[in-house]
Structure 1
Amino acid sequence: MEQVVWKRVRETWLSRKPSPLAGFISAVTVLILVIGAVCFWQGILHADQWMAASGEAVFQQKQFWRLWTTLVAHGDTGHLLNNLILFFVLGYLLVGYFGSWVFPIAAIFFGGITNYFVLLNYAPEVRLIGASGVVYWMGGAWLALYFMLDQKRSYVQRALRAGGVALGVFMPTSAFDPQVSYGAHLVGFILGVGFGLAYYFIRRTEFKKAMVYEYIVSEEDEVSTPEQEFSGDLSHPHTNRHGHSSWN
Structure 2
Amino acid sequence: MNDHKPVIDSEIWDRNSFLSNNPEYSLLLSFVAYASIAWVVTLLFLYVPPVANAMRCDGNTVFYQGKLVNLVWGVFAHSSLSHYVSNMMYIGIFSALITGWFGHRVFWALLVPVAVSVHGISLLTYPPGVQLVGSSGLVFILIPFWIVMFRFATAHQSPFRKNLKTVGVALMLLWPMGFSPSTSYRTHYIGMLAGLVAGLIYGFIKRKEILRRNIEYCAQLTAGIDKKRKP
TM-score computed with the length of structure 2 as normaliser = 0.83
Structure 2 CA distance for partners of 1:53 and 1:160, relative to 1, 3 Å: farther
Report what 2:209 is aligned to. Answer: 206
Q: Is the contact made by 1:114 and 1:184 (CA closer than 8 Å) also made in structure 2?
A: yes
Letter in 1 for 2:71: L
Larger Rg: 1
Match status 1:48 vs 2:45: no
Greater per-residue strand proportion: 1
RMSD over aligned CA atoms reads: 2.2
Structure 2 gap segments, 5+ residues each = 1-8, 225-231
Supply the distance in 2 between the matched residues of 1:42 and 1:72 (Cα, whole angstroms): 15
Deviation (angstroms), 1:129: 0.5
Partner residue of 1:193 out of 191, 196, 211? 196
Equivalent in the alignment of 2:71: 67
Match in the other structure for 2:149? 145
Q: Which amino acid aligns with 2:19?
A: L
Query: 1:122 and 2:129 equivalent?
Result: no
Q: Deviations along 1:102-149, whole A, 9 cap, x unmatched?
A: 113322101111012111211111111000001110111111100121
Structure 1 consecutive aligned stretches of length 4 or more whose deviation exceeds 3 Å? none
Instruction: Work out the percentage of aligned pairs sharing the same amino acid.
Output: 26
Residue identity opposite 1:33 in structure 2: A
Asked if structure 2 preserves the Cα contact closer than 8 Å seen for 1:12 and 1:151, the reply is no
Find the counterpart in structure 1 of residue 108 from structure 2.
104
Q: Name the SS of the counterpart of 2:10 in structure 1.
A: strand
> Deviation per CA, 1:163-214, whole angstroms, max 9, x where unpaired?
322222222121x322100011111111111111111111111111112357
1:52–1:73 contact (8 Å) kept in structure 2: no
Which one of 28, 31, 37 corresponds to residue 26 of structure 1? 31
Q: Larger helix proportion, structure 1 or 2?
A: 2
Rounded to whole Å, the distance in 2 between the matches of 1:50 and 1:17 is 44
| In 1: Cα distance, 2:56 partner to 2:144 partner | 25
Q: CA shift at 1:225, angstroms?
A: 5.7
Instruction: Provide the C-alpha distance between the structure 2 equivalents of 1:160 and 1:170, rounded to a whole number of angstroms.
Output: 16
| 1:57 aligned to which of 56, 61, 80 | 61
The aligned counterpart of 2:228 is none
Deviations 1:70-101 (A, max 9, x none): 11111111111110101111111111111122
The residue aligned with 1:38 is 43
Query: Deviation of residue 57 (structure 1)?
Result: 1.4
Query: Which amino acid in the other structure matches residue 206 of structure 2?
Result: R
Match of 2:166 in 1: 162
Q: Deviations along 1:3-24, whole A, 9 cap, x unmatched?
A: xxx8351542313221111123
Amino acid of the residue matched to residue 68 of structure 2?
A: F
- How many residue pairs are counted as aligned between the two chains? 211
CA distance in 2, matches of 1:48, 1:169: 32
Task: Determine helix, strand or coil for the equivalent of 1:74.
Answer: coil
CA contact (8 A) 1:91 1:104 kept: no
